[in-house]
Amino acid sequence: MRIDRAGNKGLIREINEALVLAELRGESLHSRADIARSTGLSGPTVTAITSRLIDRGLVEERATGASAGGRPPVLLGLRQRAGYVVGIKLTENRAIGVLTDLDANVVARADAALALPTPGAVVAGIVSTVEALAPAGHGRILGVGLGMGGVIDRDEGSVRHATYFDWHNEPLAKRLSDAIGLPVLIDNDVNALVASEQSWGAGRGVKNFAVVTIGRGVGMGMVLDGRLFRGSRGGAGELGHMKVVPEGPECECGGRGCLEAVIGEPALLGSLAGELGRRVSVDEAGTMARDGDQRAARVFAEAGQHLGRAVGNVVNILNPDRLLLAGEGTHNLDLIMPAFRRALNETVFDGLQDGLSIHAEAWDDEAWARGAASLLLNELFEPNLRLNSDEPTLIGRSAG
């Protein structure tokens, strides 16, 4: 077999540049010596790479560090405003967007209503949102990341099944890219959240972690051995459709007894109405439970028990270092957690909970949109390892 050494050298250079850029993401500044120690690259290699990145406008010399006896080191950082990306969170009736810099700092916000649940109307709503954000990007928008509920084939750019729309195998990424004139990356919205946590949040530096979202539905995303795991065609993580109550309530998916049909917000509202004899919001019920209403407290405890058992089985299968609970359902997590922890402890196999840390974060729609921007940012900073790929990469590109 003939080896294309020139091509391999180019790929190695791209990978090394990606390593350096990964070190420079975030608020911390680094000297060239720091980068060499962290990446394992030689000092001359780091010097050559940082010089190229400075020439391309991606990296800048920001400050002078403390001297350790010789000349003070020059500290480098990512040039955050060298480019921008758009992140879109798609809900049942709105396209909620943010424009972020290269460190995912939000610099502009916009949203648009969706006239109809059709692909054409959704594309129009997203285009309107992007156009509203475009002026703040000063002509340097590198692409669009979109997070939405459903089974998404990220590599194909298609929606295999949409949670809120009657879509199947819809080539949404191409539709959007053609309409906007920019690269578009789509993924499940929970994966968008995971991408953000991996780069900037509680998952940073953690090789194995899972994110479980609770709210209107129940979702899960996971990072295994440092990589976001999507499954063969984007369907991994459908925790909401784990069967937890045999012959239980019917789920929107057509099955019965799914976790989502038992603890999702519509299910909680139904259970609360049955216990209280009237309709109340989940937050109203939370207040009642904290004020001593045992009927409302019982509904939250049962939800925590079901969730704890389901997540316990996830821990048995994946053995993560960290578990993150997120989504609007975490507003009442104090009412859920006691029963959740008991059920988790009863379910997890002996020893697998050792060292497991549990974090909770409440995410609003803007935070989900920032997560969608993180999907694209992570891709932009990766070396392009796909053959015949037209997807964007920041490596080798002038940021202007």
Catalytic residues: 189
State how far the Cα of 194 lies from the Cα of 210, in Å rounded to an integer. 8
Strands 322-326 and 209-214: parallel
Neighbours of 191 (CB within 10 A): 29
User: Among positive and negative, which fits the CA dihedral 20, 21, 22, 24?
Assistant: positive
Structure-token match 């992007």, residue found: 130
Distance of CA 387 to the CA centre of its chain: 25
What is the number of alpha carbons within 13 Å of residue 136 lying toward its C-beta? 19
Structure tokens at 236: 């991994």
CA distances from 240 to 190, 214, 325, 378 (A): 12, 9, 14, 26
Q: Which two tokens stand for residue 274?
A: 């049955």
CB burial of residue 139 (10 Å; 0-12, 13-18, 19+): exposed
- Continuous H helices in 27-171: 32-39, 43-55, 119-133
H helix runs in the chain, sequence order: 5-24, 32-39, 43-55, 119-133, 172-180, 189-200, 259-263, 265-276, 282-290, 294-318, 333-347, 365-380
CB neighbourhood size of 153 (10 A): 20
Residue 199: partners with Cβ closer than 8 Å, 6 or more residues away = 25, 104, 374, 377, 378
Contact 196, 377 (CB under 8 A): no
Q: Which tokens hold the place of 129?
A: 């949102």
Q: What is the DSSP string of 360-379?
A: EE---HHHHHHHHHHHHHHH
